[in-house]
C-alpha cells in the first residue's frame, strides 16, 4: 500500500527568552494511503506542532516530512508548499472559520474559487458535497444560524470539495456534544473506507479511538505507542477502563 505520510527522525524546537525548548523529539511513523489515523495525548504534548509540520507550516529543526513521497520542505518556495498543500490536503478545525457575508453553499464552494473555478461549477459541486453530509437543506442559510454540529458537517464538506487525498482534522469534535461528535467521526470513517481518503485526526476524546486503523499516543513531544485498536483490543480496553475510572472520580466530586 502506498505511503501517504511518512515522518523520519522529526524534531522541532523553539527558541524563547529562556533558551531552546524542544517540542517534538525524534518522531518516526508512517501512514498508509486510505488509513484513518488518530493522534492523541494530553495538552502540550506536541500534537498541534506535529500537524503544522505535516501541513508545511512549521519547518522541522531536523528530520523529514514526506507527503505521497514529496519532501514538504524541499519545495522551491513557500508558494510551492502552499500549492502542494491546497492540492493534496483538506483541513477541518475545532472552530470553523467562516466568511460571514457568505451563506453555507458559498462558504463550502470557497476553496474552489481560490483554485479559479467558475461560479456555476463550484456551486454545483458545493451542493453535491452538502448532500453527502446531509446539509443540502441548509445551503442558503448562514453558518451562524446553524448548530455547532451542523457547522462541523459543513466544514467537512468544505474540506472535501477539492477532492484532496488527505484530510487533517484538528480536534474536530472539541465543541460538539456526544451525538454530534459520533456522527462527524462516522462520516470521516465513511470517507476513509468508501473513498480511500487518508484521515489524520488529533483528539482528546478517547471514545473515538475505536474508529481508527492506527492510533498514535504522544507524551512530552515523543511517541509513546503506535497500535491498531482493531488488532490490539487489550490496549483499547485498558484505555477505556482508565477513562471510565477517571470520569467516575470526576463525577463524584
**Tell me: the pLDDT tens digits for 45-73?**
999 999 999 998 999 999 999 999 989 88
What does the CA dihedral 237, 242, 243, 247 come to, rounded to 10 degrees? 140
Domain of residue 182 covers 3-252
Above 80 in pLDDT, residue 76?
Answer: no
Residue 92 to residues 22, 29, 58, 132: CA-CA distances in angstroms?
27, 22, 18, 16
- 52 in Cβ contact with 58 (< 8 Å): yes
Q: In this structure, are strands 62-67 and 70-71 parallel, antiparallel, or unpaired?
A: antiparallel
Q: What share of the chain has pLDDT > 90, as a percent?
A: 64
73 backbone dihedrals φ, ψ, rounded to 5°? -110, 20
Helices (H), the chain: 47-54, 78-88, 104-114, 119-132, 148-160, 178-195, 233-252
Least confident piece of the model among 24-33, 183-192, 193-202, 227-236: 227-236
pLDDT band at 246 (very low <50, low <70, confident <90, very high): very low
Distance CA 195, CA 92 (A): 17
Buried b (16+ CB within 10 A) or exposed e, 91-108: bbebebebeeeebbbbbb
Chain centroid to Cα 16, Å, comes to 28
Distance CA 204, CA 155 (A): 19
Above 60 in pLDDT, residue 251?
Answer: no
DSSP tag of 103: -
Chain centroid to Cα 110, Å, comes to 19
Q: Which residue has the higher pLDDT, 24 or 230?
A: 24
Q: Which three cell numbers, joined as nine digits, stand for 198?
A: 487518508
Distance CA 49, CA 60 (A): 10
192 backbone dihedrals φ, ψ, rounded to 5°? -65, -50
| The model's pTM | 0.88
Above 90 in pLDDT, residue 135?
Answer: yes
Residue recorded with cell 484538528: 170
Q: Which of 124-138, 220-234, 239-253 has the highest mean pLDDT?
A: 124-138
CATH classification at residue 241: 3.40.50.300
Q: How many domains does the chain have?
A: 1
Q: Indicate the SS3 state at residue 190.
A: helix
DSSP tag of 174: T
Amino acid at each position: 500500500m502506498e505511503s501517504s505520510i511518512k515522518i523520519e527522525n522529526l524534531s522541532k524546537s523553539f527558541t524563547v527568552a529562556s533558551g531552546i525548548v524542544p517540542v517534538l523529539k525524534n518522531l518516526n511513523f508512517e501512514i498508509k494511503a486510505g488509513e484513518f489515523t488518530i493522534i492523541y495525548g494530553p495538552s502540550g504534548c506536541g500534537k498541534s506542532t506535529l500537524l503544522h509540520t505535516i501541513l508545511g507550516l512549521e519547518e522541522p529543526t531536523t528530520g523529514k516530512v514526506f507527503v505521497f513521497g514529496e519532501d514538504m520542505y524541499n519545495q522551491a518556495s513557500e508558494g510551492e508548499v502552499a500549492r502542494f498543500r491546497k492540492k493534496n490536503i483538506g483541513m477541518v478545525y475545532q472552530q470553523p472559520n467562516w466568511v460571514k457575508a457568505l451563506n453555507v453553499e458559498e462558504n463550502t464552494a470557497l476553496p474552489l474559487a481560490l483554485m479559479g473555478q467558475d461560479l456555476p461549477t463550484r456551486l454545483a459541486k458545493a451542493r453535491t458535497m452538502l448532500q453527502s453530509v446531509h446539509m443540502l437543506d441548509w445551503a442558503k442559510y448562514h453558518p451562524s444560524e446553524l448548530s455547532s454540529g451542523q457547522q462541523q458537517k459543513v466544514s467537512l464538506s468544505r474540506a472535501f470539495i477539492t477532492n484532496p487525498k488527505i484530510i487533517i482534522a484538528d480536534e474536530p469534535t472539541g465543541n460538539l456534544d456526544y451525538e454530534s461528535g459520533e456522527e462527524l467521526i462516522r462520516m470521516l470513517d465513511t470517507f476513509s473506507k468508501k473513498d480511500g481518503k487518508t484521515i489524520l485526526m488529533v483528539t482528546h476524546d478517547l471514545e473515538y479511538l475505536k474508529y481508527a486503523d492506527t492510533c498514535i499516543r504522544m507524551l512530552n513531544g515523543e511517541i509513546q505507542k503506535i497500535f491498531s485498536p482493531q488488532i490490539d483490543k487489550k490496549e483499547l480496553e485498558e484505555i477505556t477502563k482508565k477513562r471510565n475510572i477517571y470520569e467516575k472520580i470526576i463525577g463524584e466530586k
